[in-house]
Structure 1
């Protein structure tokens, strides 16, 4: 079974926004990662001092079933940022096969922005915009590969 959550993208003020959401919903961030924490091999170039402290990924559980997720955009991704297209639906799956099935089905006729692949954070992950203009991402966390 898949779980779908909202993924919000910000143009540099993700931390401010998520601190605000936390002040309203309560709770804690189980994970907050910054672009400066990424292995250099993942981005292929030097991250600017300005971008190092920006949020690469943050999660805030807001109910038993729902997690609000987000990140900042930067570099070449920033040119695609528009308020209104900065929300994606994020699907977490129970298996790699389910991730493949959903990715292949939902991206048909759309535009793949990041093909499904193993990531440095230990997940099998991909992103696309479907044929109706909706942004999606799918993530499978293989328990055997998760970093702690």
Structure 2
């Protein structure tokens, strides 16, 4: 079966964001590649971009959260876009609270975590890096 893994673009703070995500979810980075590692005669890297993240992965359960910094020559990422959310399904209310409270620290809560009208324990927020998340615990339909 196919697997879907979220991939997030950042404006130069991917490493900071992923260290934050790692502090909440735990685990170890599977891969960290910096732009300077990709430099060649055909692909010169400006010094200002050399230590930025070209690709980073953090396994979370059966999935992998991936990301990178967008090089300045490609323009800025709109960090306030509202096209998608990363949905986290948990195995308990306690885990939902831990993840919600950890990731929303310094961010903006859009829907406080609580018992929802549709029967699950649910909350939504935008983290301090502008990424939108939802956290859900549903004993009947946990994915």
TM-score band, normalised by shorter chain: 0.5 to 0.7
The alpha-carbon distance between structure 1 residues 32 and 58, as it changes in their structure 2 partners (threshold 3 A), is same
Larger radius of gyration: 2
Choose 44-53 or 11-20, whichever is displaced more: 44-53
Aligned-residue CA RMSD in angstroms?
Answer: 2.4
- Structure 1 residue ranges, 4+ long, deviating more than 3 angstroms after superposition: 85-89
**Counterpart selection for 2:52 from 34, 51, 54:** 54
- Partner residue in 1 for 2:3: 3
Tell me, yes or no, if the aligned pair for 1:9 and 1:72 is still in contact at 8 Å: yes
- Alpha-carbon offset, residue 76 of structure 1: 2.5
SS class of match (1:3): coil
Aligned to 2:70: 73
* CA shift for structure 1 position 78: 2.2
1:82 matched residue in structure 2:
78
**1:64-90 deviation line (CA, Å, top 9, x unaligned):** x211000000133224x211279799x
CA shift, 1:2, in A, is 1.6
Asked whether the 8 Å contact 1:8–1:86 carries over to 2, the reply is no
**1:45 CA drift (Å):** 4.1
Distance 2:65 2:54 in 1: 14
Which whole-Å CA distance do the structure 1 matches of 2:83 and 2:40 have between them?
A: 26
Unaligned runs of 5+ in 1: 90-148
Stretches of structure 2 lacking an aligned partner (at least 5 in a row): 87-143
Aligned residues: 85
In the alignment, is the contact (CA less than 8 A) between 1:8 and 1:88 conserved in 2?
no
Partners of 2:27 and 2:84 lie apart in 1 by 22
Local SS of the residue matching 1:32:
strand
Partner of 2:96: none
Preserved CA contact (<8 Å) 2:39 2:45: no
Indicate conservation of the 8 Å contact 1:56/1:71, yes or no. yes
More helix, by proportion: 1
Give distance in 1, aligned partners of 2:3 and 2:32: 20
